[in-house]
Amino acid sequence: MTLAVSPLILASGSPRRRELLTQAGVEFSVIVPGCDETPLSRESAREMVERLAFVKASVVAVSYPDSFVLGADTTVCIGGVSLGKPESVEEACQMLRTIQGKTHEVWGGIAVVHHTKKVRECWSHVTRVTMAPMDEETIRDYVASGEPMDKAGSYAIQGLGLRFVSSIEGSYSNVVGLNLTTVMDKFRELSCR
């Protein structure tokens, strides 16, 4: 799909975001930004994903002022605590223990920046996901598969983790890593400007 928002650069190293845009037929290139993704103290999940999406897009847009740059960030949140990507097998197991049998929120932040056209848009979306109960053996077996290790909240809804999802309220693609509906709506809006 050729959009009036081309050339488009995805400012993300996420293979899931690349796959989603490719499946939507969007033409884009990828530049991975080098950004500090450390949460700020007292920052909500929504504030964090919006800030990080905007920072990622802005960092890349500095070097490509005549391109639309798409930045995104995703986090899992339960009880007001954000669960990022696990740094160890035990941390992955603990995250899964925390979310099993409960409903959590997946916050996705999205930003579009174009310096020359003075576009600086940022928004977020939340999806509520309910997980089935998981016993310790199930958790350990899933973590041993390796899939949880680079995923916020330690599961991949687009992979083996789908079998643990009881229900979802909101955007499936947001849980994967990029709310395609709102991105495509924003592209159409920008095409009309």
Distance separating alpha carbons of residues 191 and 150, to the nearest angstrom: 34
Q: Which residue has the tokens 């995923």?
A: 151
Distance separating alpha carbons of residues 154 and 103, to the nearest angstrom: 15
Annotated catalytic residue 135 = no
> In Å, how far are 63, 78, 190 from 24, measured between CA atoms?
26, 30, 17
Q: Which of 66, 73, 150, 185 is catalytic?
A: 73
Distance separating alpha carbons of residues 57 and 41, to the nearest angstrom: 22
Work out the burial of residue 2: count CB atoms within 10 Å of its CB; fewer than 13 is exposed, 13-18 middle, 19 or more buried: exposed
Contacts of 137 (CB under 8 A, 6+ apart): none
Task: Just list the catalytic residues.
Answer: 73
